[in-house]
Structure 1
Amino acid sequence: MNLLYTLYQTTGINMITLNQTIMILVALFLIYLAVKKQYEPYLLLPISFGMLLVNLPAPVHEGLMDKGGLLYNLYQGVKMGIYPPLIFLAIGASTDFGPLIANPKSLLLGAAAQFGIFGAFIGSILLGLSGREAASVGIIGGADGPTAIYLTSKLAPHMLGPIAVAAYSYMALVPVIQPPIIKLLTSKKEREIKMTQLRTVSKREKIIFPIVVTIVVIMLVPSSAPLVGMLMLGNLMKESGIVPNIVDHVKGALLYSITIVLGLTVGATTNAATFLNLATIKIVILGLFAFSLGTAGGVVFGKIMCKLSGGKINPMIGAAGVSAVPMAARVVQKVGQEENPSNFLLMHAMGPNVAGVIGSAVAAGVLLAMFK
């Protein structure tokens, strides 16, 4: 009996705490959302499973989370800022910047949608967060998970788990969060505006674009080089057409491999001690505020452009200025067709959408330069 009791004392059943139990239930709920509801499953599934692993009792940590363990070593890629730029490389290889090139004014809409980042940053400061923490929370407003992870790993690594979960949760909830904001800020007449077809963009323009953006943006904001540089390299490889096999592997095998490792290791930072506290509640609330404010900023600027253009620009496309590619653009298309079934806004919305990817990377570079 003594031997059996000693064995029982070494099991996780004897060691588990109430907080760990709560976190395991949260992890199971996120797994449910990823599998059943398919909310950002490619990343939410490994994040939630990493959360499950880290909150199992102490014995599981051996060989996984302890120094020298599997997840500890894999996490060094997050800590050193390696994984997010590689994801940006894959995003660049998958993205068509044609709609942005055809309508350069949409760059302004992408920039306006970044207002949520700096609005939430100010709000976080007022709620008592430090500058580094406020910057990490504010970046959620860009609706760009890799950027949020990259900036937080540099400025506030102790907040990485909650911020990553919040950022990707709100990305997954774009179809739920954005339509009410769009409808609140626009009239039915504005939502029914039909836009003319975009011009055809030449291959030469598509090749020159990533080179020019790389030079201009990095000269202005050097701290954005890891994200913007990799994004534009991926796009240049895609548009040049000279390395098709590499492009296929980058946007396929590389993207999914890095996503699994990134999600698993970030999820493993969400232990009960760092997740179940008042700071996490602040992050969740401020993250929603940041994302909502970013959407609203894009729509409001879209209304301004609509007025200046004499009613030729549908203000809804401003909502796509957040970085959730292509989900935000699809939301605009869906809302537009609900008002007018013959309205096709997808390609027009893709301009601000891809501009938002650049904008969030630039915003991260600015915040990094301010607080690193």
Structure 2
Amino acid sequence: MEFLFSGFMSITWQQWVMYGVGLLLIYLAIEKGFEPALLLPMGFGAILVNLPDSGVLTQKLEGLNEEATGIIEWLFETGIDASEALPILLFIGIGAMIDFGPLLSNPKMFLFGAAAQFGIFFTILLAVILGFDINDAASIGMIGAADGPTSILVSKILKSGYIGPIAVAAYSYMALVPIVQPFAIKLVTTKKERLIRMEYNPKSVTRTTRILFPIIVTFIAGLIAPSSVALVGFLMFGNLIRECGVLNALSETAQNTLANLITLLLGITISFSMQADQFVNYKTLMIMGLGLLAFIFDTIGGVLFAKILNLFLKKDKKINPMVGAAGISAFPMSARVVQKMGLKEDPSNHLLMHAISANVSGQIASVVAGGVIIKIVNAILQNMA
């Protein structure tokens, strides 16, 4: 009993806060269904790494001159810190899930993927103004893409000291897409705009086009933003497995077994960065706030871009501005939100396929944006050195 009591007495108030954070993430995963495959392992991991003398962290054995390797710390050092393997491998599964057909049949939707990255760059500038170092500010800005793996990878490559809060914010806001995006969309649209109807007349996309697309995108991304090749390349590799037609078993494995396993490991591994002494401080609250701002402005950027395009389009060719909001990387949640909002305004107005086109474009755009940011920030840091 004395040993148990001393264990409780050694818990700091910051650790109690992290137990609360962990339980909140578990609650959101189970009761609200918010990204349970990620939030549940992250929440449970947050509890594990904050138990006093936790065995999941590497530590010196009492009375011995040797260390006991902690499993979560080992996973973090191996799968994220040393190689970025976990977030990169996840993109094979994501690529295998995506059907680029709707986007290829309506190429102008590529523009919305680019426009919906506005919040990233806006937030980077704001974070710098608020006193964050450029590498930390760039990592925080990536939260706006609502793309967890890319956010983690950018923070790691840029050696940000806030990878834990950034990962939690990125995945939390991905889960909160159905709450945050409708608010942001209604903030900058009128009911008349939300009622705009869009016909869907898809053009047939040949098998050759589907196969060439991931190869061409990899070449282009590699030349424009070489730092994005790992993410874009693995995303496109997963899509090539899907579209080639001769690896159906591997495609199904990538979409289900691989994606689920990596997601599970990534969620509990990232909890290494949620240790109380690193996580509980005022800057974490600032990061959460800036991340939310980036997410909202990404959504608004896509919507406003659609409204600007409408100034130059004929009446019967106008774009429902809500579709622009789907240009973020939260696939397919954002497209579903747009579809649901469209049906709420007009039960016969189906926007899903248009929104899906913008959404898969956002998948590519967010990864390329991450590569561009890495290249720019590294150049700035070299000039400052």
TM-score (norm 2): 0.92
Say yes or no: does 1:128 pair with 2:131: yes
Give the partner amino acid of 2:331: V
> Matched residues, percent identical?
48
Aligned residue in 2 for 1:339: 345
Q: Deviations over 1:280-307 (max 9, x none)?
A: 0110110011000000000000112222
Aligned length: 367
The one of 234, 237, 245 aligned to 1:233: 237
User: Who is 2:381 aligned against?
Assistant: none
Change (3 A) 1:157 1:72: farther
Q: Deviations over 1:310-356 (max 9, x none)?
A: 24211110000000000000111011111111111101011111111
| Equivalent AA in structure 2 for residue 34 of structure 1 | A
Mean Cα displacement is larger for which, 262-271 or 301-310?
301-310
1:308, 1:196 → 2: CA distance?
Answer: 18
Could you say what secondary structure the match of 2:229 adopts?
helix
Q: In the alignment, what sits opposite 1:152?
A: 155
Is residue 2:272 matched to residue 1:268? yes
Q: Take 2:109 and 2:325, find their aligned partners in 1: how far apart are those partners?
A: 11
Aligned match of 2:382: none
Q: Deviations over 1:173-218 (max 9, x none)?
A: 1111111221221222221111121223222221111111111111
Deviation (angstroms), 1:22 = 1.5
Aligned positions of 1:273-352 closer than 5 A? 273-311=277-315, 312=317, 313-352=319-358
The AA in structure 2 aligned to 1:91 is I
- Check the 8 A contact 2:136/2:161 in 1, yes or no: no
Displacement of 1:67 in angstroms is: 6.6
1:57 is the counterpart of 2:52: yes
1:322 and 1:59, CA in 2 relative to 1: closer, same or farther beyond 3 A? closer
Q: Would you say the 8 A contact 1:12–1:58 is kept in 2? A: no
Q: Structure 1 residues 362, 98: CA separation in 2 closer, same or farther (over 3 Å shift)?
A: same
- Tell me if structure 2 keeps the 8 A contact 1:93–1:251: yes
TM-score of the aligned structures, taking structure 1 as reference length: 0.95
Shift of 1:64: 8.6
Q: 1:59 to 1:190 in 2, by over 3 A?
A: closer
Give how far 1:249 is off: 0.9
SS in 2 for 1:129: coil
Question: Aligned partners of 1:344 and 1:119: how far apart in 2?
Answer: 32
Alignment of 1:66-215 (within 5 A): 68-75=69-76, 76-79=78-81, 80-197=83-200, 198-215=202-219
Gapped runs of 5+ residues in structure 1? none
Could you tell me which amino acid in structure 2 is paired with residue 276 of structure 1? V
Q: Tell me how large the CA RMSD over aligned residues is.
A: 1.7
CA distance 1:183–1:325, shift in 2 (3 Å): same
Distance 1:30 1:222, change over 3 A: same
Q: Residue 156 of structure 1: CA displacement?
A: 3.3
Runs of 4+ in 1 over 6 A off after TM superposition: 63-67
* Segment of structure 1 superposing worse, 284-293 or 264-273: 264-273
Alpha-carbon distance in 1 for matches of 2:228, 2:241:
20
Does structure 2 retain, via aligned residues, the 8 Å contact 1:222–1:365? yes
Using the alignment, how far apart are the partners of 1:133 and 1:218 within structure 2? 24
Matched, 1:359 2:337: no
